Amino acid sequence: MAKTIARRGLKARAVRNRLPTGIELMRDPLLNKGTAFSVAERRALGLQGLLPPRVSSQDEQVQRILEHLRGLPNDLEKYVDLNALHDRNEALFFRIVADYPDEIMPLIYTPTVGLACQRFGHIFQRPRGLFISAKDRGHIAAVLRNWPQRDVGIIVVTDGERILGLGDLGANGMGIPVGKLSLYTGCAGVAPERCLPVLLDAGTDNDALRNHPFYIGLKRKRLRGGAYDALVDEFVMAVQEVFPAALIQFEDFANTNAFRLLHKYRDRVCTFNDDIQGTAAVALAGIYSALRITGGSLAGQRILCMGAGEAATGICDLVVSALTDEGLPETEARGRCWLFDSRGLVVASRAGLAEHKLPYAHRHAQVADFVAAVEALQPTAIIGVAAVGGTFTQAVLGAMARINPRPIVFALSNPTAQAECTAEQAYRWSGGRAVFACGSPFDPVTLEGRRFVPRQGNNSYIFPGVGLGAVASGARRITNEMFLAAARALAQQVAKKDLDQGSIYPPLARIREVSAHIAAAVAEVAFERKLAAKPRPRRLLAHIRAQMYQPRYRSYV
Q: What is the mean pLDDT of each run of 10 residues along the chain (557 residues)?
A: 45 61 96 97 97 98 98 97 97 97 94 94 93 97 97 98 93 97 98 98 96 96 97 98 98 94 97 96 98 96 96 97 97 97 96 94 96 98 95 98 98 91 98 95 94 95 98 97 98 98 96 98 98 97 97 95
Domain count, the chain: 3
Whether 333 is in a domain gets the answer yes
Whether 89 is in a domain gets the answer yes
CA 516 to chain centroid, in Å, comes to 16
Reduced to 3 states, what is the DSSP secondary structure of residue 195?
Answer: strand
Whether 248 is in a domain gets the answer yes
Among 417, 433, 460, the domain boundary falls at 460
Among 460, 486, 507, the domain boundary falls at 460
Which of 180, 215, 288, 556 is catalytic? The answer is: 180
The CATH number assigned to the domain holding 50 equals 1.20.1370.30
Predicted confidence at residue 1, as pLDDT, reads 44
Please report how many Cα atoms fall inside a 13 Å half-sphere around the Cα of residue 90, on the Cβ side: 22
Predicted confidence at residue 110, as pLDDT, reads 86
Whether 515 is in a domain gets the answer no
Print the domain residue range for 308. 277-460
Whether 551 is in a domain gets the answer no
242 and 97 belong to one structural domain: yes
pLDDT tens column, 200-241 = 999 999 999 999 999 999 999 999 999 999 999 999 999 999
Whether 465 is in a domain gets the answer no
The CATH number assigned to the domain holding 413 equals 3.40.50.720
Which residues are bridge partners to 310 per DSSP?
A: none
28 and 119 belong to one structural domain: no
How does 487-515 read in b/e, with b if 16+ C-beta sit within 10 Å?
A: bbbbbbbbeeebeeebbbbbbbeebbebb
Whether 201 is in a domain gets the answer yes
Whether 512 is in a domain gets the answer no
- The answer to whether 366 and 350 are in contact (CB under 8 A) is yes
186 and 116 belong to one structural domain: yes
Predicted confidence at residue 17, as pLDDT, reads 58
Which of 33, 78, 79, 109 is catalytic? The answer is: 109
Rg of the chain on CA atoms, in Å: 24
208 and 125 belong to one structural domain: yes
435 and 339 belong to one structural domain: yes
Outline where 295-364 has alpha helix (H). 310-325, 330-334
The CATH number assigned to the domain holding 126 equals 3.40.50.10380
42 and 88 belong to one structural domain: no
189 and 282 belong to one structural domain: no
**CA 46 to each of CA 8, 22, 40, 42, 133: distance values in angstroms, whole numbers, following the listed order:** 12, 5, 10, 6, 40
183 and 325 belong to one structural domain: no
258 and 300 belong to one structural domain: no
118 and 256 belong to one structural domain: yes
328 and 309 belong to one structural domain: yes
Which residues are bridge partners to 446 per DSSP?
A: 451
109 is catalytic: yes
11 is catalytic: no
CA distance 330 to 343: 26
Percentage with pLDDT > 70 across the chain: 97
Predicted confidence at residue 8, as pLDDT, reads 47
Predicted confidence at residue 242, as pLDDT, reads 98
406 and 426 belong to one structural domain: yes
